[in-house]
Amino acid sequence: MPQTINIPLALRQVGSETYGPGTLAVGDFELEVNLDRTPNQGLNARTTATLVTVAFDMLLPSDPTWRQVGGTTFQGGTRTDPETGQTITSEYMGVALWKPNLAGRQIRLRLTIAGPSSVRLAGSLIVR
């Protein structure tokens, strides 16, 4: 059964933050992060110079080195869906997890804000 972890609305300063680590359950095979672009001072209210990078690192019980398993960068500014012409209001990224049948795996989220200003973010992290 999927587990949802809320990312509370907060003003994130320029720089990097690490959340976790947390232990994955045996059988967990995928992570999904969703970010809301619409809050006051959110991505839609910033210029394209504001960047939010989301990265997931995984640690296996037999390896002392954190390894990145997925990541992406979301750009500030209002984005429009080319097919519908509507403003894009959320961002999404999913990543497959290594060795879903292995106990003792750990995961952490790295969030990096770059650019001229802080950004207000909220969203969710879903573990399947």
The three-class DSSP label of residue 8 is strand
Q: Which tokens sit at 11?
A: 């003003």
The three-class DSSP label of residue 86 is coil
In this prediction the pTM is 0.93
The pLDDT tens digits of the residues spanning 4-45 come to: 999 999 999 999 999 999 999 999 999 999 999 999 999 999
User: Can you give the pLDDT at residue 109?
Assistant: 94
Domains of the chain (ranges, CATH numbers): 3-127 (2.60.120)
Pairing of the two strands 106-114 and 15-23: antiparallel
Residue 43 — φ and ψ, nearest 5°?
Answer: -60, -40
- d(CA 53, CA 103) in angstroms, rounded, equals 28
Contact yes or no for 12/121 (Cβ under 8 A): yes
Contact yes or no for 128/2 (Cβ under 8 A): yes
User: Can you give the pLDDT at residue 105?
Assistant: 97
